Structure 1
Amino acid sequence: MAAVQAVLSALDVFSRAPDKAALDQANTWLQDFQHSRDAWSTCNVLLLSPDAPAAAKLFAAQTFRTKVTYDLHEMDPADIFRLRDTLVTALQTFHTGPRTIMVQLCLALSGLALQLPAWEDPVQNMIDTFGRAPASVPALLQFLTVLPEELYTNTKIPVTDDEYKERANKLLTANASKVVELLSMYLQATGVTPAIQVQVFNCLSSWLIAGEIQAMSLVNSPLLPFSFNALESDELFDVAVTAICNLIHETQEVEDSMPVIELIVPRVIAMRPKLAEHASDPDQIRGYARIFAEAGETYRGLILNHPETFFPIVEAIGECAAYPDLDIVPITFHFWMRLAQALGKKPSVPPPFLDAYKSLVGIIISHLHFPEDSGSLTGQEAENFRSFRHVMGDTLKDCCYVLGSDLCLLAAYDMITAALSQGPSMSWQKIEAPLFAMRSMGAEVDPLDDRAVPKIMDLIPSLPSHPRVRYAALLIISRYTEWINRHPSYIPFQLQYISGGFEDADTEVNAAAGQALKYLCQDCKRHLVDFLPQLHTFLGSMGSKLAQDDKIQVYEAIAHVISAMPMEQAAQSLRTFSLDILAQVHALAIKPTVATKEELLNITHGLENLEVMLGVIESFGEELPAACRNSAQEAWTFFDPFIAKYGLDYQICERMTRVLRLGLGFFGSTVRPILPAVLTRMSTAFEATGFSSYLWIIGKIVGRFGNDNDPTLRVAFKNTYERTSNKLVQLLQEKAPASIPDVIEDYLQMLLQMVEYTPDVFFPSPAFPIAFRAAMLALTVVHTDIIFAALDLIRNVITHECLSPPSTAPPPPKFPLYAAAIRPVIQKEGLELTGYLLTGLVGDFPEESPPVVVTIFRVLAALWPTELLSWLSAVLQQVPSTAVPDQTKVQFIADMDGAVQSAEYDRVKRAILSLHRASRKARDRRRVAALDM
């Protein structure tokens, strides 16, 4: 009774709206309780006690389901049958509800039936127990509904594949015909209620989805005609729709299913008038659309080969696609896509299908129209509609696949010209929707088209200046730039139209203009070289008026044009645009007063623009043009004083380091003379700010130039390593690693570069113990990239060849120095390292981490065998049994001891993976229990 009271007390916490700490504590206690052996008997008392509250009874039922899944091995065989009888008795008690308890009991019985071969015929037993009295039939139907669902979806039940196949065959396959007869009987029983009929349909769907009831078995069953008749009932409509869709889906083996298809298809086609009859009821139309779409997809081959019989299904799906409710329209999209793919393989498309897709083009474009009252959509509704337009655009591409892009484009073109002919009374929506369609179909356009696209391009100048229309037209230009590249005579006008877009008061139009310019310059860059001075003038006159996002697009566009120039000309052009930005940097660096926030913001924008240009151009190769040969040193004379003065500003730091990283790639080896100064500045800046980006750029420098043997540079690497490590120690004295994840990650990435490229700096330095300890602490940060970086660094250290050099050749001279640095650190940190590794392995490490952990433990077992066993023993005592069962801990220690004693280090892998599997199983169980709370 004490255990019963403890459960009641824990559950009571949930009814009192407690604070989160109390809620978490109660939840954890209940999960731990479900792991215990006492839970069997305690939940038995709770479930069958008439005085227990409903929440306690539900918890007891959930616990039985959980323990049947995970802990059936705890019970003696005789007790398992008593458990079955307890669950059956409880189901008899709750056969009238609550449904939540009934469902959990049925799930528990289903899991038990799978694991208890000695229970000869559970289905018949349940029919005998619950199927005779009308009052208990709902409990039987609930059991029969969840039985296939539990057997096919609960992968946590511990049975082998062979055991599963054998038992599932006895439970499901052998009983399928019996279930069909039973469901038919209940469906037609005198006095049957709609609630029972709903359960019958749900059960039928469950067995159909599982593939246990074959469609052919329903040829002579009343279930099939009654499913269609049930569509006339409001109470049965939804479950009947689902059952019919599942039945149609199960006839995919068309040749084998023709007798039942011959029964289904006439009934489906006969439903088409219902679309007009129920046009005002979206719920009804949605159900019919599901049936028509399922029939269309399943019988696609029959539709194509026998359109005289099956084409009415296509027409019905077309009607559903035309329905104004945009929640219903997408039900048809998958059908149109798959049918288009099939039609595309035919040498010619039959006229009825051409007509269907021509009609579909008009239907989709009509759905693309914004409402006449643009204010009728709320913020989220407007966003949802915009997103859905792109989905509809994909269906227009399917139409292009069948009809050809030129025909589809001309259909949209004709709609626009018809709207324009209405004069001032025209609505912008009638123009914008076809323009959006043209944009969506742009990916299907042939760059050589000379029929449709020229008409579209000639049409753009005559479009009204409404912002939504201009926005759509600009995005058409951005989508058709490959075509424009082959028709460069259109470029002057396109540039003029784009320039006008930048001057529009609407910010979305500005953004569309930027995108259009970017793609025009990207795809037509060779034709735009002569226009570069015009673009430079445009930046000078309009630059200050452009939003930064738009300015980025312009600079990216310019960079694409520069990349198409001869190298010397390109270098000079890049220098011209770069100096505009660097002049601003220099002006602020020498300004006697502190810059304003606005001035700093302008500089960050300028640096971002420079970054974009360098990102596009990337490099001129190893041999830089004359205009760039001294540019690295010149640029650093601008950047160094600027960082010294404003590097404490986070945004400046972020932008500056990103530009520096691209500069390393662009200037290549010509940056070597300034690298010591750059490293010193980055170290000083990190010491002053703690900003991770300074570590990030140091790592990039080491990764690119770490093999350089210049003594000055290696001294700079050493000083940088030690200064940044000492700063990290200071930060970790003030903050937990998890509170500075960016610093931890970039420090680790810097170290990974150092251990690979500068081991002569990395290992002998007094910073090495700091670096190793930082990697260990990083294992506590729940962040995938950080954990992998830390594991990689630790692995690289303890697997370094210096610890076990090959005996066939003398080791490199510095190996003893490296080993002398590594061994005392491992000896000192081994216990904590083992703790972090095991705690993470059974806790928050990513799923892909075990191979790296295995490698680390294999090396530890080989090089520090005695110490490792003592470390493991101490660490496992601290791991809670809820994370790793005590039996698993004992087995793990035994396995590791055996691996060490026999020096068979492959056994370490098996031991680690077994521990990991056990911990994952425990975690999954707790997660399922938490979801059920």
Structure 2
Amino acid sequence: MAGAGGSETLLRAVHELYHNPDKEVKKRAEQWFGEFQRSFEAWTSLLEVLQNSGCPTEARHLCSIGLKNKCLLDLEGLPKESVDVLRESIVSLLLAAEPLNGPIRTQLCLAFSGIAAHVPGPDWNGVGMVPWVEQRLSGGAKPLSVVRMVEIMCILAEEYGSYKPAVHPNRRRQYCKELESSSAKAFQMLTFAAQEQALLNDAKPLKCLLQAFSSWLNLGGPEKLKASCANTPLQLHNHPLVALSVNCLQSQDMEVFDMAVDVMCTLVNCTLSENVEVITPEAVELVNMLMGSALSLRPRLLQYVSDTKAGKDVIEMEDMVKSIAKFLVEISEAYIFYIAKGQSDFLVMVEAMLEVASHPDNEVSSMTFGFWYRLSKILVIGVDPDTEMKVLGEMRQPLIEMFNPAFSKLVGHLIEHVVFADDVDSWSKGDHKDFRKVRYTISDTLTDANLILGPDTTLSLILEPLQVHHSECSAGKSFDWRIAEAAYFCSKSISRSMPFDSALVYNLLCAIPTLPRQPQLLYTSCSVVGSFSSWVAGAMKKGKLPDASLLTSLLSFSSGALQDKDASSAAAIAFKHLCDSCCGLLGEFSEQLFSVYNAVITGSPGALESEDVIEVLEGVIFVAMAMDADKKQAAVQVIVQPILTPLQAMLGGSPAGNEVQALRLLEQLETVYKNVSDKQLVMQLLDHTSSIFDRALEVLGPHVECAEKVCSALKYGLKTTGTSTAQELLQHLFTNIPLRFSRYSHPCLLYLSSELVKIFGGQTQSHGWLQALVSGLVAKSHNKLMEIKNFDSRPDIVDDLFLLAGRVLTYAPAILFLEGGFQTLQLLFNCAVAGMYINHRDALLSIYAFFYLLLDTKNEYSAKALEAVLVPAGLILTKKLLAGITGAVPKAYLEDLGESLHRMLRVAKQLGLSWLHESLSCIPRTSLSDEEKQTFMVAAQEYLSNGRHRSFLQQVKEVSQICRRNDKVMRECNASLLASS
């Protein structure tokens, strides 16, 4: 197939792609089309199919997509005469007597937009692109030509600023200016189209007209809209397009209505001063018109909410009400400064926001959350968190009191939204996940309300539905766990702000052990215990609680809930938080705590999730660390014994088949080292467990996760003991780590070594054994990477190798730059250059970080070593950096590449400039012109002379955009640079 051509072959390929049942045939057809689309012949074949009305619709649609892609990406290679013919062909297709369907026309309009981006203004018959469209289409057969003009104008505005067209950066900037300067003319053309009655009577063209108006408003702004009617001066609110948009708010067609709302939202932004949310004087009448239009839609919103609560069928109104909510929210957020200042004309929007917040659909009600957040912050601190502008002065309390009723109503609406639905038992995992997200955003908004209302008032409002329900239950109504669960869930959001003498909190917590053990209610109750653990600790320390009964009650409750599979995770976290917050108060209850811990740690595998066991373990460690010195050691011994005993037995026998259990035990031991903060105790632990770790690496060495846990435990232990670590352990480590790495290739051994460098790099007396350790690891890593000849196969080794290298350069550079370190430095440099395009984010960033540090010389001895490494390979490094900049690596790393290049120039100076000049000369002139190369060289020279690297990095970005403008140019640049390196 790939060897055939022409429209007939193209049609056969499309037929196979859409209709052949054989997946392999479909795949080959798709591959062929992709290759064919890049060929020069495709221009003719794609147009032939599109112009043949007898061809299947699917073929014409696929060809329209292909033509659009070619106009966006390949137009640079076409002669001007061919471009003119292509442009006329596309317009003729749009104006065809037998109209193409909407999706095909959209692709053709996008193709036209691609041509517009490539072709300079003077090449449109000397008048510019937008006037050319007017001349070509406004005088044709109406109403078809007018409708097609609107469709083209809509796409042109929507694609403004797009990076899809593969054009030179200078041309892209120029094209944006051309569109901006043509905005007034565009509004005139749309106004002309709005007089075509046939267009107004058809929903689809009308929707397109509104969409075009909205897009050009975003592009040109209100000034260009006013300029469009300069001959007959009109206020913005009287402009024909604005009037049309307002009238469309009464449309029964959902798409037209929705687009009219979009126009209204765009107009709202047009009423504000640039970068300041202040209404411009000339926009006052427009603001009044917009607010009146928005408020006139409120009855529909209220009717929908009322009908929904009454159980009526409201499905036909759903989309319309969402658009109304969007309009109301847009206005409220735009004029929030005026609302916050209490200006009477705008306060009505607060009621509107409450009505939207009461909407039963969480997606709609959550639209208001940003408004409430900003309003609360402005009222409390006087500054808008979005713009960081000062809005209110010191006298804010009267305003806070004025908004109290609104925030009280808001809390009531929010509580309704966190209550589980009646059909919760039939929910899917996705439903539960979505509901959790909604609840967390509601919690944030409750926190905002708390700022205005105060904690006691907010908690009282949260508990109000529960208190009402309690009265109902006393009268004989059955208990509804959902109401209780919602109240307890909401209470968590304000747990940190509650005063320690709050009777509401005390009663709330006292009631928890008495609640029915419904799974979801039990889970939430445990979460509440964890959230209020700091309150319990603070209340006890300040003498606000009569005794420790509440603490012991909650501890017993969370311990008991560990046995419930539905609530065990929340119970484990609650247990840990109680132990953490109240660690100084729980010493006298240590026996009970260790009893719970022993039951959990020695329980049958799978009784609790590994993460839950870790939470409990951390909790008892917190308590142990708060004990007196004489009790602390015994407590730690009690904690580690149930871990070490089975681990030693396992390592002493055959671990085959027990890797999972071994991993759990090693993870628990890692947790001990992570959380035990007493240096002396950790030194004793390391002395006791070093042989166990060594045996674990020997027996479980092939198991990557087990090795990682051993290394992580050692890392935490070494961090705590620091330079006080026993020399015998260090001797053992730096002797065995290279051997283990050579055998198993575990990157975690490299990371552990980097921790040793970080800890001991500042000690000159440690440099000898550190140099031996690092040189051994670098040599073995280099051999492994050279063996597989593909850095992408082991990015984990690359990442941790250069993390190690970076720490050496930061904490102990002497072991690389002084005698005995040059070979190691050379190997690292070679690896870094070889791995510069590795397809792994962390590994790539580690390599670039290594270059940053290496090229940041601090003294004479490092400069000499760097010169010895850099001079022989500087040209190769420069070419590879330049190849990365021009497309060999994703654009996300451009800043890192630029930083590396400018640091290389700073070190190599004139020699670096010669490398850069030679590298640039490799790039074909068709990809990067001589003038552009010279501009880049001048920027590099200026950087060396004045040290200002920002302008140089800006030129790096410019060269990158030029050379990445299309695939062909990018491939040429990379091929020329890499072939010569």
TM-score category (smaller protein): 0.7 to 0.9
Establish whether residue 481 from structure 1 lines up as the match of residue 539 from structure 2: no
Alignment match, 2:290: 264
Alignment match, 1:501: 558
| 1:209-224 correspondence to structure 2 within 5 Å | 209-213=218-222, 216-219=235-238, 221=240, 223-224=242-243
Q: Say which is worse superposed, 415-424 or 108-117, in terms of deviation.
A: 108-117
Q: Say which is worse superposed, 15-24 or 843-852, in terms of deviation.
A: 15-24
* C-alpha distance in 2 between matches for 1:237 and 1:855: 57
Work out which of the residue numbers 422, 427, 434 in structure 2 matches 1:377: 427
* C-alpha distance in 1 between matches for 2:405 and 2:339: 15
Which residues of structure 1 form unaligned runs of 5+? none
One-letter identity of the residue aligned with 1:679: F
Work out which of the residue numbers 883, 900, 903 in structure 2 matches 1:855: 903
Kindly indicate whether the alpha-carbon contact (under 8 Å) linking 1:107 and 1:150 is maintained by their aligned counterparts in 2.
yes
| 1:248-301 superposed Cα distances (whole Å, 9 cap, x missing partner) | 343345343222233333333232222355541322221222222223333445
Structure 1 residue 3: Cα displacement: 12
* C-alpha distance in 2 between matches for 1:99 and 1:383: 40
Alignment match, 2:310: none
Alignment match, 1:285: 321
| 1:472-504 superposed Cα distances (whole Å, 9 cap, x missing partner) | 122122222332222124754344334433433
Alignment match, 1:234: 253
* C-alpha distance in 2 between matches for 1:826 and 1:362: 72
One-letter identity of the residue aligned with 1:64: C
| 1:119-148 superposed Cα distances (whole Å, 9 cap, x missing partner) | 436544433432341121111111232333
CA gap 1:356/1:595 in 2 versus in 1, 3 angstroms? same
Establish whether residue 368 from structure 1 lines up as the match of residue 408 from structure 2: no
Structure 1 residue 896: Cα displacement: 10
Q: Name the SS of the counterpart of 1:151 in structure 2.
A: coil
Q: Name the SS of the counterpart of 1:773 in structure 2.
A: helix
Alignment match, 2:301: 275
| 1:497-646 correspondence to structure 2 within 5 Å | 497-504=554-561, 505-545=563-603, 546-565=608-627, 570=632, 573-589=635-651, 591=652, 593-595=653-655, 597-598=657-658, 600-618=659-677, 620=678, 624-625=679-680, 630-646=684-700
Q: Name the SS of the counterpart of 1:758 in structure 2.
A: helix
Kindly indicate whether the alpha-carbon contact (under 8 Å) linking 2:147 and 2:199 is maintained by their aligned counterparts in 1.
no
| 1:141-160 correspondence to structure 2 within 5 Å | 141-153=150-162, 158-159=169-170
* C-alpha distance in 2 between matches for 1:702 and 1:544: 37
CA gap 1:166/1:412 in 2 versus in 1, 3 angstroms? closer
One-letter identity of the residue aligned with 2:597: L
Kindly indicate whether the alpha-carbon contact (under 8 Å) linking 2:711 and 2:749 is maintained by their aligned counterparts in 1.
yes
Q: Say which is worse superposed, 190-199 or 141-150, in terms of deviation.
A: 190-199
One-letter identity of the residue aligned with 1:246: T
Kindly indicate whether the alpha-carbon contact (under 8 Å) linking 1:683 and 1:724 is maintained by their aligned counterparts in 2.
no
Structure 1 residue 768: Cα displacement: 5.8
| 1:429-468 correspondence to structure 2 within 5 Å | 429-443=482-496, 445-448=497-500, 450-468=502-520
Kindly indicate whether the alpha-carbon contact (under 8 Å) linking 1:706 and 1:758 is maintained by their aligned counterparts in 2.
no
Q: Name the SS of the counterpart of 1:398 in structure 2.
A: helix
Structure 1 residue 700: Cα displacement: 1.8
* C-alpha distance in 1 between matches for 2:85 and 2:808: 65
Alignment match, 1:170: 181
* C-alpha distance in 2 between matches for 1:378 and 1:635: 46
* C-alpha distance in 1 between matches for 2:147 and 2:888: 43
CA gap 1:311/1:3 in 2 versus in 1, 3 angstroms? farther
Alignment match, 1:843: 888
CA gap 1:651/1:300 in 2 versus in 1, 3 angstroms? closer
CA gap 1:588/1:354 in 2 versus in 1, 3 angstroms? same
Alignment match, 2:117: 111
CA gap 1:179/1:498 in 2 versus in 1, 3 angstroms? farther
Work out which of the residue numbers 352, 356, 360 in structure 2 matches 1:324: 360
Alignment match, 2:397: 347
CA gap 1:199/1:758 in 2 versus in 1, 3 angstroms? same
Structure 1 residue 438: Cα displacement: 0.8
Structure 1 residue 797: Cα displacement: 5.9
Kindly indicate whether the alpha-carbon contact (under 8 Å) linking 2:87 and 2:112 is maintained by their aligned counterparts in 1.
no
Q: Given the two structures, how large is their TM-score scaled by the length of structure 2? A: 0.78
CA gap 1:836/1:850 in 2 versus in 1, 3 angstroms? same
* C-alpha distance in 2 between matches for 1:579 and 1:398: 47
* C-alpha distance in 1 between matches for 2:914 and 2:302: 82
Establish whether residue 192 from structure 1 lines up as the match of residue 237 from structure 2: no
One-letter identity of the residue aligned with 2:613: K
* C-alpha distance in 1 between matches for 2:348 and 2:942: 75
One-letter identity of the residue aligned with 1:595: P
CA gap 1:336/1:916 in 2 versus in 1, 3 angstroms? closer
Establish whether residue 744 from structure 1 lines up as the match of residue 753 from structure 2: no
* C-alpha distance in 2 between matches for 1:260 and 1:696: 63
Structure 1 residue 733: Cα displacement: 2.3
CA gap 1:4/1:201 in 2 versus in 1, 3 angstroms? farther
CA gap 1:521/1:24 in 2 versus in 1, 3 angstroms? farther
* C-alpha distance in 2 between matches for 1:675 and 1:483: 44
Kindly indicate whether the alpha-carbon contact (under 8 Å) linking 1:521 and 1:528 is maintained by their aligned counterparts in 2.
yes
Kindly indicate whether the alpha-carbon contact (under 8 Å) linking 2:647 and 2:662 is maintained by their aligned counterparts in 1.
yes
* C-alpha distance in 1 between matches for 2:260 and 2:397: 40
Q: Say which is worse superposed, 388-397 or 456-465, in terms of deviation.
A: 456-465
* C-alpha distance in 2 between matches for 1:429 and 1:534: 33
Alignment match, 2:191: 181
Kindly indicate whether the alpha-carbon contact (under 8 Å) linking 1:581 and 1:610 is maintained by their aligned counterparts in 2.
yes
Percent of aligned positions with the same letter in both sequences? Answer: 19
* C-alpha distance in 2 between matches for 1:339 and 1:491: 41
One-letter identity of the residue aligned with 2:292: P
Q: Say which is worse superposed, 465-474 or 414-423, in terms of deviation.
A: 414-423
One-letter identity of the residue aligned with 2:325: A
Establish whether residue 705 from structure 1 lines up as the match of residue 760 from structure 2: yes
Which residues of structure 2 form unaligned runs of 5+? 18-22, 227-234, 273-277, 308-313, 383-395, 972-981
Structure 1 residue 685: Cα displacement: 1.8
Q: Name the SS of the counterpart of 2:511 in structure 1.
A: helix
| 1:572-624 superposed Cα distances (whole Å, 9 cap, x missing partner) | 544543454344444444x3x213544x4444333323333433444x4xxx5
Q: Name the SS of the counterpart of 1:506 in structure 2.
A: coil
* C-alpha distance in 2 between matches for 1:560 and 1:90: 75
| 1:186-217 superposed Cα distances (whole Å, 9 cap, x missing partner) | 3x569832233222221222233335345942
| 1:832-862 superposed Cα distances (whole Å, 9 cap, x missing partner) | 6566545444311622222213434665685
Structure 1 residue 864: Cα displacement: 8.9
Establish whether residue 138 from structure 1 lines up as the match of residue 147 from structure 2: yes
| 1:632-659 superposed Cα distances (whole Å, 9 cap, x missing partner) | 4333233333433333332321111001
Structure 1 residue 431: Cα displacement: 0.8
CA gap 1:640/1:262 in 2 versus in 1, 3 angstroms? closer
Establish whether residue 247 from structure 1 lines up as the match of residue 267 from structure 2: yes
Structure 1 residue 352: Cα displacement: 7.5
Establish whether residue 651 from structure 1 lines up as the match of residue 705 from structure 2: yes
* C-alpha distance in 1 between matches for 2:87 and 2:253: 38
Alignment match, 2:136: 129
Q: Say which is worse superposed, 11-20 or 245-254, in terms of deviation.
A: 11-20
| 1:12-39 superposed Cα distances (whole Å, 9 cap, x missing partner) | 7566447698578657746755xx8x98
Kindly indicate whether the alpha-carbon contact (under 8 Å) linking 2:491 and 2:528 is maintained by their aligned counterparts in 1.
yes
* C-alpha distance in 2 between matches for 1:831 and 1:300: 58
Kindly indicate whether the alpha-carbon contact (under 8 Å) linking 1:896 and 1:908 is maintained by their aligned counterparts in 2.
no
Establish whether residue 692 from structure 1 lines up as the match of residue 743 from structure 2: no
* C-alpha distance in 1 between matches for 2:186 and 2:957: 39
Alignment match, 1:64: 71
Alignment match, 1:683: 738
Q: Say which is worse superposed, 382-391 or 42-51, in terms of deviation.
A: 42-51
One-letter identity of the residue aligned with 1:425: S
| 1:87-120 superposed Cα distances (whole Å, 9 cap, x missing partner) | 6555444994332234224424653687448743
